[in-house]
Structure 1
Amino acid sequence: MLYTIYLVEDEVSLNQLICSYLQREGWNVISFKDGEEARRAITQEPHLWILDIMLPGIDGYQLIREIRKANESIPVIFISARDSDLDRINGLELGSDDYLAKPFQTRELIIRVSKLLERVYGKALHTQSAAPIAQDEYPPYTIDRQARIVRENSGKEVELTSKEFDLLDYFVSHAGLVVQREHILNEVWGRDYFGSDRVVDDLIWRLRKKMPELRLETLYGLGYRLVKR
């Protein structure tokens, strides 16, 4: 048996991003884009809810009230762009177990989810999660995450800097998804980075030059997408 997590997030790109990270941990993820859709699934009782506060129609506060009426013990994590003490207090009063302000590093959310699930359900269920994938194939390249090495089919190593490898790893992990520049900054440079967002474009240019077979698309006004092989 694996954890089932219900995610409610109306920003499509962020919804897809969070889903991909949760699924890589081996968890079953069902996502919703609005509160009304999520409300109809309350009786299904997943292991965990992740709720955005600001949603079209029914907001996260209304949802958690109904979730708590159906089941008082299901853990809930709030995520919100409104990083105020009042929002945190309101969330706690309504029964949330944690609160994470946007923008956040997705890895931080994963850690919080993992610890909360372990605390609520114990280690026995938690240990059935899948191990992270250590190696990926993106022909003609092989990406070894453990050794942080990229090789071509011929065996020749592609010389990448540490940050170039981090960016490549991010794109390969989210192949087929449209990712925004701000999300790349948060995940590769960290939420404490305060420099120009043009560093993303510069690093992508260098990555394309070193790995010409990498099908990395620029979607103007949207972001970037690595085409799946």
Structure 2
Amino acid sequence: MSVDVPHRGLVLVVEDEPAIADLVRLYLTRDGFGVHVERDGTAGLAAARRLRPVVCVLDIALPGLAGTEVCRQLREAGDWTPVIFLTARDDEVDRVVGLELGADDYVTKPFSPRELVARVRALLRRAAGPPGGDDRPRIVGAVSLDPTRRTVLADGVPVHLTSTEFDLLAHLMARPGRVFTREELLAAVWGYAAHSGTRTVDVHVAQVRAKLGGAGVIRTHRGVGYSADA
């Protein structure tokens, strides 16, 4: 399929239902994105590697390779392009599995195409850096974070985080010791608390902790939320 020349960047949409793919393409194109559509997971994985999109929108139930497998293979190859999953199921197990594979977001069908576009824009806005020019490096314990370069070191070793995982850690480290509720983190990091469950925060925190290893700085405050402490 042809690739549009975008001014916001190219979004790869991997969706086997033509009506949904066409609707997503229409709304993303209207918002200034280029869009490339593939109908199966194998072709989608090849397109992601070839085209280097700014965001991948992956249906989970795809012919060839499942969307979760596409995401897994990208992450294993060191490709941390933001990924948004589409699925017909609102099952918490599916949601958790998707996030643990390195997805940044998750949308359940039927969904508002305007909301999907807003989520794509939110991912790219966060990836561009912190608002208000707060680009000062942050150090908490053995973890250092550079908002400008979007890099994290734990005990001097680089840590590879998804876009959302990075934003979550950056938000916590911006105010060390301050306890954020799950609802506050959803609003600040994801930007649409009303449409997300607090389980999303818990899964992302668990993933960040696992990647930081022994240098973990995220503390759980039972019944309240999380903080970053040395």
TM-score (norm: length of structure 1): 0.51
Q: In the superposition, relative to structure 1, how do residues 32 and 77 fare at CA in structure 2: closer, same or farther (>3 Å)?
A: same
**Secondary structure of the corresponding residue to residue 72 of structure 2:** helix
Query: Where do 1:1-229 residues align within 5 Å?
Result: 2-44=8-50, 45-122=52-129
Q: Deviations over 1:189-225 (max 9, x none)?
A: xxxxxxxxxxxxxxxxxxxxxxxxxxxxxxxxxxxxx
- Unaligned segments of structure 1, at least 5 residues: 125-229
Larger relative CO (CA 8 A, sep 6+): 1 or 2?
A: 1
Aligned equivalents of 2:70, 2:80: Cα separation in 1: 15
Aligned equivalents of 1:115, 1:121: Cα separation in 2: 10
**Secondary structure of the corresponding residue to residue 41 of structure 1:** helix
Would the aligned equivalents of 1:42 and 1:70 in 2 still touch at CA under 8 Å? no
Q: What displacement does 1:103 show?
A: 0.4
Q: What displacement does 1:123 show?
A: 8.7
Question: What do you get for the CA RMSD once the two structures are aligned?
Answer: 1.7
Runs of 4+ with >2 A deviation: 69-73, 121-124
Would the aligned equivalents of 2:12 and 2:48 in 1 still touch at CA under 8 Å? no
**Secondary structure of the corresponding residue to residue 39 of structure 1:** helix
Q: Kindly, what percent of the aligned residue pairs are identical?
A: 43
Aligned equivalents of 2:68, 2:82: Cα separation in 1: 14
Q: What displacement does 1:46 show?
A: 1.1
- Unaligned segments of structure 2, at least 5 residues: 1-6, 132-230
Q: Deviations over 1:141-167 (max 9, x none)?
A: xxxxxxxxxxxxxxxxxxxxxxxxxxx
Q: What displacement does 1:62 show?
A: 0.8
Q: What displacement does 1:69 show?
A: 2.3
**Secondary structure of the corresponding residue to residue 117 of structure 2:** helix
> Aligned AA for 2:12?
Y
Look up the match of 1:143: none
Q: In the superposition, relative to structure 1, how do residues 23 and 71 fare at CA in structure 2: closer, same or farther (>3 Å)?
A: farther
Q: In the superposition, relative to structure 1, how do residues 71 and 48 fare at CA in structure 2: closer, same or farther (>3 Å)?
A: farther
